[in-house]
């Protein structure tokens, strides 16, 4: 460089120096943090739900201990079915904590004088099993002090036995010999889902096809918001409608016996699923480039042919995603299932028989079950199943849409 004539330089180290943009940096970090947080929350929910069903998975040594516990307490299961435990527990918590009686209450009956007061008028002999029965619950809610007791009687049934009942058809969670047959629930859920999708799928997709391909602009502006408004209907209202109106109407039409059944539930759930499927399908159809439509019409295809053979296939990925979301909605729908399906876990192919769905089972029984008990674990296990299923559904949608369809449509 020569020094005498100072040339005005545009590109100097100084002017090109790296800058640190604090606000952009922070915004970027903030956005990514939120993203990870939301993912983390989803997984935490799953972990929490799954954790509660973990006792079901302690086979082997634990199971042995449990079966022993079962053997030593012959009459225990009774306490689940018949005793109004809810009323008793708070009292026993209170007194035990206050008077430091816990260790004794598990051992021999040194506190004979106290107990009759706590439990009211019941004979002292009947008491013991109940105390044992309550123990695990205390163990989980109150920080554990007597771990040995908790481990032994965590489950009234052994895990093996519970698992064996899973594959039966009887759902009798509250009885002397509880059976958790998931088969009936599974069939019920599938039946309702299939019926709902058979109704909602074609209706919603055809309605979407109509609005995007045939309807004039004005008709479209009327129809679209109306169908989308259905999505804002609380499902309890749809369920109520199904319960009061649809059930009687279909009974008159088809003349079946059980007034609330899979068909009524399916129709009601279709009402809930249609807006979702419609909205997403309509978006997918509207996103199909107009040039395809023009190309088809210019070849002498009618509107109808263009809609079915060009527009609809081009929107397949979106419609597929819409249908899967619809399945997810129906599968997890609780309130309508509770109100309109009859809630009887029957194994039958007849669409006009009552069914009980997974989601409805959780909804109906969660508030009545006992914390930490097998029934409780099973309900959370069902929750995990629902979660896994919808996760798998979305994964399939993702891979199918992204992989197969896009490859097909966009070349190799």
403 binds other proteins (CB under 8 A): no
Whichever of 6 and 300 has its CB closer to other proteins, that residue is 300
Per CB under 8 A, does 307 bind other proteins? no
State how far the Cα of 63 lies from the Cα of 69, in Å rounded to an integer: 10
Distance of CA 315 to the CA centre of its chain: 28
- What six digits make up the tokens of 86? 């809810």
Please report the DSSP string for 160-211 in residue order: HHHHHHHTSS-EE-SSSS-EE-HHHHHHHHHHHHHHHHHHHHHHHHHHHHII
Q: Which stretch binds other proteins (CB under 8 A): 41-49, 207-215, 274-282, 305-313?
A: 305-313
**Contact pick of 172, 301, 393, 401 for other proteins (by CB under 8 A):** 301
> Shortest gap between Cβ of 315 and other proteins (angstroms)?
10
Among residues 309 and 391, whose Cβ is nearest to other proteins? Answer: 309
Q: Select from 65, 314, 339, 362 the one that contacts other proteins (CB under 8 A).
A: 314
Site for other proteins in 272-291 (CB under 8 A): 289, 291
Q: Which of 15, 23, 216, 367 binds other proteins (CB under 8 A)?
A: 216
In 3D space, the residue among 317, 196, 179, 177 whose CA is nearest the CA of residue 261 turns out to be 196
Among 40, 103, 302, 402, binds other proteins (CB under 8 A): 302
How many angstroms separate the CA atoms of 366 and 57, rounded?
20
Q: Which residue's CB is nearer to other proteins, number 107 or number 411?
A: 411
Q: Does the footprint of other proteins cover residue 222 (CB under 8 A)?
A: no
Work out which of 86, 107, 120, 300 binds other proteins, going by CB under 8 A: 300
Q: Does 401 bind other proteins (CB under 8 A)?
A: no
| Maximum C-alpha span of the chain | 113
CB of residue 306 to other proteins, shortest distance in Å: 9
Is the distance from CB of 314 to CB of 410 less than 8 angstroms? no
Please choose, from the candidates 231, 233, 209, the residue with its C-alpha nearest in 3D space to the C-alpha of residue 220: 209
Kindly tell me which of 35 and 406 has the beta carbon lying closer to other proteins: 406
Q: For the CB of residue 369, give the shortest distance to other proteins in the complex, in Å.
A: 52
Cβ-proximal residues to 264 (8 Å cutoff; 6+ apart), any chain: 242, 246, 247, 250, 340, 341
Rounded Cα distance between 165 and 159, Å, is 10
Helix 358-365 and helix 316-332: axis angle, to 10°?
Answer: 30
DSSP-derived pairing of the beta strands 171-172 and 179-180: antiparallel
Stretch that binds other proteins, among 141-149, 157-165, 310-318, 387-395 (CB under 8 A): 310-318
Contact string 227-256 vs other proteins (x = CB under 8 A): ------------------------------
**SS3 of residue 351 by DSSP:** coil
What size, in residues, is the chain?
412
Q: Of the ranges 129-137, 165-173, 309-317, 345-353, which one interacts with other proteins (CB under 8 A)?
A: 309-317
3-state secondary structure of 29: helix
- Under the criterion CB under 8 A, does residue 400 sit at the interface with other proteins? no
Q: Does 98 bind other proteins (CB under 8 A)?
A: no
How far is CA 396 from its chain centroid?
17
Q: Residue 294, interface with other proteins (CB under 8 A)?
A: yes
Among residues 21 and 412, whose Cβ is nearest to other proteins?
Answer: 412
Q: How far is the CB of 209 from other proteins (least distance, A)?
A: 17
Confirm or reject binding of residue 221 to other proteins (CB under 8 A). Answer: no
Q: Is 313 in the site for other proteins (CB under 8 A)?
A: yes
Q: Per-residue DSSP letters for 251-310?
A: HHHH--S-SS-HHHHHHHHHHHHHHHHHHHHHHHHHTS-HHHHHHHHHTT--HHHHIIII
> Which region among 173-181, 268-276, 303-311, 347-355 touches other proteins (by CB under 8 A)?
303-311
Residue 357's closest CA among 134, 120, 195, 164?
195
Q: In the complex, what is the shortest distance from the CB of residue 290 to other proteins, in angstroms, rounded to a whole number? A: 9
CA dist., res. 277 & res. 228, Å (int): 10
The single residue among 183, 230, 231, 297 that binds other proteins, judged by CB under 8 A, is 297
410 binds other proteins (CB under 8 A): yes
Helix (H, G, I), strand (E, B) or coil at 355: strand
CA 145 to chain centre: 34
Q: Tell me: does residue 202 bind other proteins (CB under 8 A).
A: no
Contact (Cβ atoms closer than 8 angstroms) between residue 157 and residue 374: yes
Residue 6 or residue 411: which is nearer to other proteins going by CB?
411
Which residues in this chain contact other proteins in the complex, by CB under 8 A?
Answer: 216-217, 289, 291-292, 294-302, 305, 309-310, 313-314, 407-412
């Amino acid at each position: 460089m020569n020094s005498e004539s100072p040339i005005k330089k545009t590109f100097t180290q100084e002017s090109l120096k790296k800058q640190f943009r604090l606000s952009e940096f922070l915004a970027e970090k903030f956005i990514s943090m939120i993203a990870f947080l939301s993912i983390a929350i989803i997984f935490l929910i799953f972990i929490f739900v799954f954790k509660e069903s973990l006792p079901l998975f302690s086979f082997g040594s634990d199971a042995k201990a449990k079966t022993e516990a079962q053997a030593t307490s012959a009459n225990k299961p009774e306490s689940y079915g018949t005793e109004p435990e809810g009323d008793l527990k708070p009292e026993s918590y209170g007194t035990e904590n206050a008077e430091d009686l816990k260790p004794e209450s598990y051992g021999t009956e040194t506190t004979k004088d106290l107990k009759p007061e706590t439990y009211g008028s019941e004979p002292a002999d009947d008491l013991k099993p109940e105390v044992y029965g309550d123990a695990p619950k205390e163990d989980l809610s109150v920080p554990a002090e007597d771990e040995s007791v908790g481990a032994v009687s965590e489950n009234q049934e052994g895990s093996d036995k519970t698992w064996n009942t899973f594959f039966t058809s009887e759902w009798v969670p509250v009885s002397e010999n509880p059976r958790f047959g998931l088969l009936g629930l599974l069939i019920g859920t599938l039946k309702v889902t299939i019926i709902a999708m058979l109704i909602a799928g074609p209706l919603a997709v055809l309605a979407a096809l109509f609005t995007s391909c045939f309807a004039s602009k004005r008709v479209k502006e009327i129809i679209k918001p109306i169908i989308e408004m259905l999505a804002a209907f609380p499902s309890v209202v749809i369920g109520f409608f199904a319960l009061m109106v649809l059930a009687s109407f279909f009974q008159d039409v088809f003349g079946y016996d059980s007034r609330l059944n899979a068909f009524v539930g399916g129709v009601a759930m279709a009402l809930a699923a249609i807006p979702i499927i419609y909205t997403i399908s309509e978006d997918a159809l509207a996103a199909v480039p107009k040039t395809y439509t023009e190309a088809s019409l210019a070849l002498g295809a009618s509107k109808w042919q263009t809609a079915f053979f060009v527009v609809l296939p081009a929107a397949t990925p979106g419609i597929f995603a819409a249908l899967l979301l619809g399945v997810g909605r129906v599968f997890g729908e609780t309130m309508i299932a509770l109100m309109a399906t009859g809630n009887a876990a029957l194994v039958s192919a007849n669409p006009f028989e009552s069914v009980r769905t997974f989601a409805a089972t959780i909804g109906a029984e969660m508030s009545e079950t006992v914390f930490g008990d097998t029934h409780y674990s099973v309900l959370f296990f069902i929750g995990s199943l629902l979660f896994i299923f919808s996760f798998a559904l979305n994964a399939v949608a993702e891979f199918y849409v992204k992989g197969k369809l896009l490859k097909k449509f966009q070349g190799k």
